[in-house]
Amino acid sequence: MGAALIWTGFYAWVLHQHFGFEWRIAFWDSFIFNLWILNAALLVGTLLNYLPKTGIFQIVIGLGLLLAFTAQWISNEAIIRIIPEETAYLEFLAKSTPVRWALGFVIITGVGVGMIYYLRWKELMEVQSRETDMAALAREAELQKLQLQLQPHFLFNSLNSINALIIVHPDQARQMVQQLSDFLRLTLKRADEPWVSLAQELEYLETYLAIEKVRFGHRLEVKLQIDESAQTWSIPTLVLQPLLENAIKFGLYGTTGQISIELTTKAIDDQLEIKITNPFDSDMQSSSGSGFGLAGLQRRLYLIYARNDLLQTKTLENKFTVNLKLPIRS
């Protein structure tokens, strides 16, 4: 609207300054002519929402020709009726009709073409916004799926252990059922908590270890070395349990002796370093199972941080080590 007022003022100034007409005549000419041209341009802009997209530029040019003629004819008739006594101006009006028509055509068509590109840009932005939202939803769905995945063998083996304890040690069986129930309840609860503190994750880990210690007894020893300054560090939920489960699986399964697993955490600069080490004997490993595992955790970390270098493993002198680096949450 501001541009239309500026153009109307400029048009009137040209009629007055260049052609020598009175301000009254220049004003009426500029106001009426530009009013109808503006209405025609707005009509084109409105019609674009209902016109077919095929051949839209040709349609806009055709509308520009028609509406420019209509606007010029109506404005001429209106001006003649408002100032019929100004014969010199009326002669100028008749001679300038082709120029006015061409000017109106350029303005109307220019607005129409501009609106076409604007609507296409707006549509493109909406498509990109929908694609971004869909990608975000897909990412969240995949994260939740990975987050809820449990190692099937852990659940099955826990139930088998409970079954074996029912007759021999019923009290331990009841205790293990309660611990398993608490563990599964916490797992489902964490599905709605994408981020937790390190202290909260360690509490969850204790629930998990309580079950494993009932199963393996004195054979399983887990040493925790936690950096106290990192207790409030915000980390993705359920990142330690699959790492520790992996260590127990490849440290204890297939062996009969006692093993020791070490878990250390340390805050260094802008990242939290977590290291889990367990004994490793390639000749006594059980067949790999399906489920969450390191691959699932690697995928989760990529979805969260967009990095593939945060989880690294190495085997050295019958020791399997997992190194996890979690950047500070921005």
- What was the pLDDT predicted at 290? 41
Report strand pairing: 234-236 vs 195-197.
antiparallel
The pTM assigned to this predicted structure is 0.57
Domain extents in the chain: 2-140, 149-327
Q: State the pLDDT at residue 147.
A: 59
Residue 282's pLDDT is: 63
Phi, psi dihedral angles at 237 (to 5 degrees)? -70, 150
Question: SS3 sequence, the chain?
Answer: CHHHHHHHHHHHHHHHHCCCCCHHHHHHHHHHHHHHHHHHHHHHHHHCCCCCCCCHHHHHHHHHHHHHHHHHHHHHHHHHHHCCCCHHHHHHHHHCHHHHHHHHHHHHHHHHHHHHHHHHHHHHHHHHHHHHHHHHHHHHHHHHHHHHCCCHHHHHHHHHHHHHHHHHCHHHHHHHHHHHHHHHHHHHHHCCCCEEEHHHHHHHHHHHHHHHHHHHHHHEEEEEEECHHHCCCEEECCCHHHHHHHHHHHHHCCCCCCEEEEEEEEEECCEEEEEEEEECCHHHCCCCCCCCHHHHHHHHHHHHHCCCCCEEEEEECCEEEEEEEEECCC
> Distance from CA of residue 260 to its chain's centroid?
42
Predicted local distance difference test score (pLDDT) of residue 273: 93
All residues at 6 or more sequence positions from 290 whose CB lies less than 8 Å from its CB, including other chains: 152
Determine contact, residues 31/8, Cβ cutoff 8 Å. yes
Q: Does the domain spanning 149-327 belong to CATH 3.30.565.10? A: yes
Give strand pairing partners of 320: 278, 315
172: left (phi over 0), alpha (psi -120 to 50) or beta: alpha
Alpha-carbon gap, residue 46 to 26, rounded angstroms: 30
Q: What is the mean pLDDT of each run of 10 residues along the chain (330 residues)?
A: 76 81 84 85 84 85 89 86 82 84 89 88 87 72 61 73 85 87 79 83 87 83 88 86 83 74 89 89 53 74 87 87 86
